[in-house]
């Protein structure tokens, strides 16, 4: 449909042109030469499809000549945008219409996901076995990347449309504080005072900034400290803080003395391995079960998750926890092993949904592009963020009360 904008008896304003031909009758392309302001005329601006032109309805004298040209710059830009949109739509439609291409694309993504997942899984297992400073420094590195991804999500257009993000210098300070938290946890054994002090410093920096401080800035920064810094510290407390030897573990008896011997296999190490393995099993079984039997959506936060996939993930998580408890001889009670698997599943599901909610509000599919086939570091570790605190509380508080 054509759009018309009419300018009636408009006083023209002279424009200075940097480059045009010497002949006033032949202006250069994309140039509009206007007469002196004493001239009056009616102009009609017509947009019709890809054309954009000025129509002169009333002639003026030769002394006040106006030379108009077709304004093609905007039309060319519109044509390019329409062409790009048509190409993108054509590619998506061609992939949807061609099941073979769609299947190949999914197979390629799955292959890439498996390869990079295994490439990350084996080194991560070695880091967990090493423990100590190796485990803590590796965790702190992941925390740094995750904190940067989180604050970039907070600054994304989808979230900033409804709130004011914290300044960049505050985001960087929060990222550094998040990195220091696991290290301080290993060194002091706890970080309660450190977290309180860090929160006070960040709050004062936001309140004393120039301009008009907003509560959204404070809340997003405080949640960043909690989500990216404080919660991951419980993995350090679980792996390195619980140093009671797992005497019943048969693997410990055959463990080389150079690598620590039987004393290396502590309750913290066994609990960490069972928890991480249970989360991996839960994610895998939920993915496979959802693809095969998924029909009922679980929540609107993540439309791809289904009740069928969640049930499959819960079964895989509990089964892995029970099997590993028999291998490591910890916990010795079957009920405790089932409860541990149940707790790990709900912690991983809650962490996954929390990160999905952040990404949904940010309007992005992945938190980053660090890991091919997986997205960002938050996409890979979202299931572990809350689970560490739950697993540590279970081992430290629940098991001593009811036995292992």
The answer to the question of residue 106 being in a domain is no
Which is more confident, 254 or 136? 136
Domain total for the chain? 3
Per-residue pLDDT at 100 exceeds 70: no
Per the structure, the complete domain to which residue 10 belongs is given by: 3-74
Say if residue 292 is in the same domain as residue 344: yes
Domain end among 192, 219, 241: 241
Say if residue 50 is in the same domain as residue 181: no
Q: Give strand pairing partners of 56.
A: 43
Say if residue 163 is in the same domain as residue 296: no
User: How far is residue 117 from each of residues 177, 224, 298, measured CA to CA in Å?
Assistant: 28, 26, 25
Say if residue 231 is in the same domain as residue 340: no
Residue 275's pLDDT band, with cuts at 50, 70 and 90, is: very high
The answer to the question of residue 182 being in a domain is yes
The strands making up 51-56's β-sheet, listed across from edge to edge, are: 3-11, 40-48, 51-56
Say if residue 291 is in the same domain as residue 401: yes
CA angle 34, 12, 74 (to 5 degrees): 60
Say if residue 198 is in the same domain as residue 302: no
Say if residue 235 is in the same domain as residue 256: no
The string of pLDDT tens digits covering residues 156-178 is 876 777 778 888 889 999 999 99
Cβ atoms of 33 and 67 closer than 8 Å: yes
Instruction: Return d(Cα 221, Cα 165) in angstroms, integer.
Output: 8
Domain end among 190, 221, 241: 241
| pTM, full prediction | 0.73
The answer to the question of residue 116 being in a domain is no
pLDDT at residue 75, as a whole number? 42
Per-residue pLDDT at 139 exceeds 90: yes
Residue with structure tokens 């297992």?
Answer: 125
Say if residue 263 is in the same domain as residue 354: yes
Per-residue pLDDT at 316 exceeds 50: yes
Instruction: Return d(Cα 56, Cα 156) in angstroms, integer.
Output: 46
The answer to the question of residue 354 being in a domain is yes
The answer to the question of residue 87 being in a domain is no
Instruction: Return d(Cα 35, Cα 44) in angstroms, integer.
Output: 17
Say if residue 283 is in the same domain as residue 175: no
Cβ atoms of 220 and 270 closer than 8 Å: no
Instruction: Return d(Cα 76, Cα 30) in angstroms, integer.
Output: 11
Instruction: Return d(Cα 197, Cα 206) in angstroms, integer.
Output: 14
């Amino acid at each position: 449909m054509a759009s018309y904008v009419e300018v009636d008896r408009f006083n023209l304003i002279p424009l200075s042109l940097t480059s045009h031909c010497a002949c006033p009758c032949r202006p250069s392309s994309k140039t509009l030469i206007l007469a002196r302001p004493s001239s009056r005329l009616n102009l009609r601006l017509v947009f019709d499809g890809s054309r954009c032109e000025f129509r002169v309805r009333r002639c003026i004298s030769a002394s006040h000549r106006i030379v108009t040209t077709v304004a093609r710059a905007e039309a060319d830009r519109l044509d390019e945008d329409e062409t790009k949109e048509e190409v993108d739509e054509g590619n998506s439609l061609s992939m949807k219409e061609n099941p073979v291409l769609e299947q190949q694309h999914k197979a390629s993504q799955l292959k890439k996901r498996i390869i990079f997942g295994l490439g990350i899984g084996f080194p991560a297992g070695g880091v967990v076995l090493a423990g100590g400073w190796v485990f803590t420094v590796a965790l702190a590195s992941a925390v740094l990347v995750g904190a940067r991804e989180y604050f970039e999500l907070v600054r994304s257009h989808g979230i900033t449309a409804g709130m004011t993000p914290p300044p960049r210098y505050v985001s960087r300070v929060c990222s550094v504080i998040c990195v220091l938290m696991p290290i301080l946890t290993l060194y002091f054994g706890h970080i309660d005072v450190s977290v309180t002090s860090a929160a006070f410093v960040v709050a004062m920096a936001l309140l004393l900034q120039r301009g008009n401080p907003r509560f959204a800035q404070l809340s997003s920064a405080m949640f960043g400290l909690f989500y990216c810094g404080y919660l991951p510290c419980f993995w350090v407390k679980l792996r390195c803080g619980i140093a009671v030897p797992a005497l019943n573990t048969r693997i410990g008896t055959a463990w080389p003395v150079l690598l620590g011997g039987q004393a290396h296999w502590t309750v913290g190490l066994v609990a960490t391995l069972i928890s991480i393995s249970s989360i991996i099993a839960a994610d895998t079984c939920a993915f496979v079960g959802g693809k095969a039997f998924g029909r009922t959506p679980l929540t609107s936060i993540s439309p791809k998750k289904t009740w069928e996939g969640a049930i499959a993930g819960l079964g895989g998580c509990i089964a892995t926890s029970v099997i590993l408890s028999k291998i490591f001889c910890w916990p010795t009670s079957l009920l405790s092993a089932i409860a541990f698997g149940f707790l790990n599943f709900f912690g991983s599901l809650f962490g996954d949904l929390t990160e999905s909610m952040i990404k949904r509000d940010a309007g992005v599919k992945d938190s980053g592009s660090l890991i091919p086939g997986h997205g960002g570091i938050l996409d890979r570790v979202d299931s572990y963020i809350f689970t560490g605190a739950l697993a540590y509380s279970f081992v430290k508080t629940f098991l001593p009360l009811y036995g292992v």
